[in-house]
Chain A
């Protein structure tokens, strides 16, 4: 194990790195870390044993600071063709800073739950539960996907003149979601199972696809909607209650844990399950639970790599790091828990002050200009990681991401790009689907 001082230095470098890039809309820490490894490599500038600690600092920072981009840089105009996220509504009401504060409350609760869990619960409880349930992961995954489709709430359909008109208005949204899932799935299947992207991009071949689904489509919506830059209230004031905070923290922790432990199940899917299980309602509760969920999902999943009696590789960052160095001892596990606490403290302060600054000066630089800059950067990242074909994948996945918005359906259906190929592979049908698509 590295000396404690080195661990501190490298994890602080990770926090700084994560904090500096995580507030930018469309940037994801996993993509940037992959870019870092691709361009600079690890082992020359940084010792390989330091990489997990650098990564955990960066991931903690991302889990905190990315609140800034989701609150301030995902603004929508009033056309309301697309439904708004609670954070977007807060911004339209001039309460962006309050949304960040609610998120931070959740993130701190998530950090505390994670640290307590990591110290006292995970080492004892997770291994046997995981061992008993892991052969049935495909069952859970299929069940969640089916539930996503069955439970899609029709947002229109009430006002049709005839029953069939009402039915069609409701079902076009549901069918739109199905189409998005299938198209994402086909794209993901092609990207994963063909040599469309260069073999040198082994660890980053899904990057342009995810940038398109969730990053680029978001940035393009910002550009197209040309949102108003409304004055924001920078006061440290929130409207919630201790009961809501406790309930949201519980729900967020539940969803985050499910997503962190089981492969392919993402934070959004975990939140969907936990939200239903705990019957959550209220924008404040939603934002708080997002904070808890994202910390446990991102940081918790990565922490599992350090757990010696389980050592699960969950998430793109864990795969990237484990390809270079996997921590082995309890000492490293405990050091990682310490790094989480330290990084969370720094990230909290960073997020708070960025939010305060942005709330005061929100209308100085228009989000449209920032979005142009980010769009170009995302294209460059895709090109550097995966070459010209990566740009093609980026364009297709962006179109699919935009379709989800146009159909007014769940953006998470784009996860079909990951879920469908994995399900096909897990059930042993890859060859048949390759044949069906004329690929082999």
Chain B
């Protein structure tokens, strides 16, 4: 659920205690602590936990320019090396040599509309030249649709021409080169993820941080990460440029550098049946953990490993309750017990609400050791479940304010008032439950596909990947 849904649940929890409601009426605002407690798990995770989380692999397809805080980063030639392969940079320099002009036939893989990978051959124009700045010289290559754009932008590329070239770094027998493009190559992302999965199979766990691609004008290059267990491959697909609001505004990359595919030599399963989409705000962290599945040793993914841990447990709710009680008792607040209970219930409501979704939580550590899967009623961003829950909490607040006030401002029976207030939530939840049956069926089918271990065995029989 969204942050405010949790927060308002805490606000509502406090109103179930007549003593706290009486305090609120007198202008004592301490009960707002219950709302803070309800939001606390996300606050801790996103404001602290996320920054201290371990990173075994850090994938930054397009490093930010230090001054402008967006990509591509303007670098000197000498700053680039083989480790930057497939990353997106800009270099300012002078054309010092035209190596080759000509036409090539490109051979590349692309995904068709049905999701199948196919090999394509296309004839393209190309140019190779040397670009020199005060720190060194780099080979620059432009071909295909990028060549057309490049020529359109700079006119004919000639000796002595000063230009700002942006593209991704590649490596061949002659060393590193800069390939003109408007995005990093997805192959680098795919290869690093594949390597992390293989390493997790050996070591037990690896955590990968994937940065997003921010471009000038507060827009982002979207990309998708597909983990395909039966095919044992990681596919990364570069998408269009999008606004932070998710609206695509063009900038599709050419087919020949749209997809990166890396094979994985160990079996793995994917627990969430959709590709990971990376665009605005920040990029995700994914943990790959060695696990047992249907008697086989596999690697399992876990999205945002620092999220939904101890902070999202019922145990943490008890700790919050104790801390709130101790502190407010110490400062002499008369209703410390009620406040502590409200704070604990608020935090528990957060845990319960998140349990309605997909990720689940480790509910009672140290008794429970791992995450208990969610009920899959709807995704965390679902407007329907968020609104239904938040509205129910508003209904509870009004209901409680009314029944704890004498004379009652709304003089009707309690059950009747609650029903009058809460009907939008009842309808919302009913729709969510009906939709969740369909979703579960869909997930079950997809999970069968993703976790088809027999397919692994067949592939191994014929020689593996």
Would A132 and B29 count as touching, CB distance under 8 A? Answer: no
Would A166 and B7 count as touching, CB distance under 8 A? Answer: no
CB-defined contacts of A151 to chain B, threshold 8 Å:
3-4, 7, 39
Would A139 and B217 count as touching, CB distance under 8 A? Answer: no
Would B243 and A86 count as touching, CB distance under 8 A? Answer: yes
| Residues of A254-298 contacting chain B, CB below 8 A | 272-273, 276-286
Q: How far is the CA of A282 from the CA of B409 in the complex (A)?
A: 40
Q: Which of A170, A284, A286 contacts B47 (CB under 8 A)?
A: A170
| Given A279-B381, A281-B246: A174 and B31 interface contact (C-beta under 8 Å) | no
Any chain B CB within 8 A of the CB of A231? no
CB-defined contacts of A136 to chain B, threshold 8 Å:
24-25, 401
CB-defined contacts of B24 to chain A, threshold 8 Å:
135-136, 138-139
Q: How far is the CA of A255 from the CA of B36 in the complex (A)?
A: 21
| Given A128-B410, A133-B398, A156-B69: A93 and B29 interface contact (C-beta under 8 Å) | no
Would B32 and A166 count as touching, CB distance under 8 A? Answer: no
Q: How far is the CA of A170 from the CA of B283 in the complex (A)?
A: 15
Closest residue on chain B to residue A427 by CB atoms: B27
Q: Which of B64, B68, B218 contacts A89 (CB under 8 A)?
A: B218
Q: Which of A15-23, A49-57, A140-148 contacts B (4 or more CB under 8 A)?
A: A140-148
Any chain B CB within 8 A of the CB of A236? no
Binary CB contact string for chain B from 67 to 92 against chain A (1 if under 8 A, 0 otherwise): 01110000000000000000000000
Any chain B CB within 8 A of the CB of A434? no
| Given A80-B218, A81-B69, A138-B27: A279 and B382 interface contact (C-beta under 8 Å) | yes
Residue among B2, B4, B51, B398 facing the most chain A CB atoms (10 A cut-off) = B51
Would A154 and B47 count as touching, CB distance under 8 A? Answer: yes
Q: Which of A157-165, A305-313, A326-334 contacts B (4 or more CB under 8 A)?
A: A157-165
Binary CB contact string for chain B from 179 to 221 against chain A (1 if under 8 A, 0 otherwise): 0000000000000000000000000000001010000111100
CB-defined contacts of B398 to chain A, threshold 8 Å:
129, 132-133
Would A84 and B218 count as touching, CB distance under 8 A? Answer: yes
CB-defined contacts of B39 to chain A, threshold 8 Å:
147, 150-151
Would B387 and A277 count as touching, CB distance under 8 A? Answer: yes
Closest residue on chain A to residue B399 by CB atoms: A132
Any chain A CB within 8 A of the CB of B445? no
Any chain B CB within 8 A of the CB of A44? no
Q: Which of A78, A84, A139, A167 contacts B51 (CB under 8 A)?
A: A167
| Residues of B36-64 contacting chain A, CB below 8 A | 36, 39, 43, 46-48, 50-52, 60, 63-64
Main SS class of interface, A:
helix
Q: How far is the CA of A133 from the CA of B281 in the complex (A)?
A: 36
Any chain A CB within 8 A of the CB of B361? no
Any chain B CB within 8 A of the CB of A200? no
Would A146 and B36 count as touching, CB distance under 8 A? Answer: yes
CB-defined contacts of A239 to chain B, threshold 8 Å:
247
Nearest-neighbour CB distance to chain B for A295, whole angstroms, equals 21
26 A-B pairs whose Cβ atoms sit less than 8 Å apart in the complex: A80-B68, A80-B217, A86-B243, A132-B402, A132-B410, A133-B398, A135-B405, A136-B24, A136-B25, A139-B31, A142-B32, A143-B32, A146-B35, A150-B7, A150-B39, A151-B39, A163-B52, A171-B47, A174-B47, A276-B390, A277-B4, A279-B382, A281-B246, A283-B247, A285-B245, A286-B245
Closest residue on chain B to residue A174 by CB atoms: B47
Q: Which of A128, A146, A158, A278 contacts B282 (CB under 8 A)?
A: A158
Any chain B CB within 8 A of the CB of A426? yes
CB-defined contacts of A279 to chain B, threshold 8 Å:
2, 381-383, 386-387
Closest residue on chain B to residue A128 by CB atoms: B410
Binary CB contact string for chain A from 400 to 440 against chain B (1 if under 8 A, 0 otherwise): 00000000000000000000000000111000000000000
Any chain B CB within 8 A of the CB of A195? no
Q: Which of B27, B48, B245, B383 contacts A283 (CB under 8 A)?
A: B245
Q: How far is the CA of A153 from the CA of B43 in the complex (A)?
A: 10
Would B29 and A142 count as touching, CB distance under 8 A? Answer: yes
Any chain A CB within 8 A of the CB of B315? no
Any chain A CB within 8 A of the CB of B362? no
CB-defined contacts of B4 to chain A, threshold 8 Å:
147, 151, 272-273, 276-277
Q: How far is the CA of A181 from the CA of B81 in the complex (A)?
A: 46
Would B217 and A89 count as touching, CB distance under 8 A? Answer: yes
Any chain B CB within 8 A of the CB of A79? yes
Nearest-neighbour CB distance to chain B for A423, whole angstroms, equals 8
CB-defined contacts of B50 to chain A, threshold 8 Å:
157
Q: Which of A81, A147, A159, A278 contacts B64 (CB under 8 A)?
A: A159
Closest residue on chain B to residue A168 by CB atoms: B51
Would A280 and B383 count as touching, CB distance under 8 A? Answer: yes
Any chain B CB within 8 A of the CB of A92? yes
Q: How far is the CA of A47 from the CA of B5 in the complex (A)?
A: 48
Nearest-neighbour CB distance to chain B for A133, whole angstroms, equals 6
Residue among A79, A135, A276 facing the most chain B CB atoms (10 A cut-off) = A276
Would B36 and A282 count as touching, CB distance under 8 A? Answer: no
Any chain A CB within 8 A of the CB of B234? no
9 new A-B pairs (CB below 8 Å) besides A159-B63, A280-B383, A283-B243?
A80-B69, A83-B244, A84-B217, A86-B245, A138-B27, A170-B51, A272-B4, A277-B4, A277-B8
Would B246 and A158 count as touching, CB distance under 8 A? Answer: no
Would B405 and A132 count as touching, CB distance under 8 A? Answer: yes
Q: Which are the 5 A-B pairs with shortest beta-carbon distances?
A: A276-B4, A283-B245, A131-B409, A166-B51, A279-B383
Residue among B2, B4, B7, B39 facing the most chain A CB atoms (10 A cut-off) = B4
Q: Which of A93, A133, A139, A277 contacts B5 (CB under 8 A)?
A: A277
Any chain A CB within 8 A of the CB of B11? yes
Would A159 and B60 count as touching, CB distance under 8 A? Answer: yes
Closest residue on chain B to residue A429 by CB atoms: B27
Any chain B CB within 8 A of the CB of A172? no
Nearest-neighbour CB distance to chain B for A132, whole angstroms, equals 4
Any chain B CB within 8 A of the CB of A247? yes
CB-defined contacts of A167 to chain B, threshold 8 Å:
48, 51-52
CB-defined contacts of A132 to chain B, threshold 8 Å:
398, 401-402, 405, 409-410
CB-defined contacts of A143 to chain B, threshold 8 Å:
7, 11, 32, 35
Q: How far is the CA of A81 from the CA of B65 in the complex (A)?
A: 12
Would B29 and A138 count as touching, CB distance under 8 A? Answer: yes
Closest residue on chain A to residue B24 by CB atoms: A139
Q: How far is the CA of A335 from the CA of B282 in the complex (A)?
A: 51
Any chain A CB within 8 A of the CB of B391? yes
Closest residue on chain B to residue A89 by CB atoms: B243
Nearest-neighbour CB distance to chain A for B15, whole angstroms, equals 8
Any chain A CB within 8 A of the CB of B249? yes
Closest residue on chain B to residue A275 by CB atoms: B4
Q: How far is the CA of A83 from the CA of B69 in the complex (A)?
A: 11
CB-defined contacts of B281 to chain A, threshold 8 Å:
153
Q: How far is the CA of A129 from the CA of B398 in the complex (A)?
A: 7
Q: How far is the CA of A132 from the CA of B64 in the complex (A)?
A: 52
Would B218 and A83 count as touching, CB distance under 8 A? Answer: yes
Nearest-neighbour CB distance to chain B for A293, whole angstroms, equals 16
Q: Which of B2, B60, B216 contacts A78 (CB under 8 A)?
A: B216
CB-defined contacts of B29 to chain A, threshold 8 Å:
138-139, 142, 427
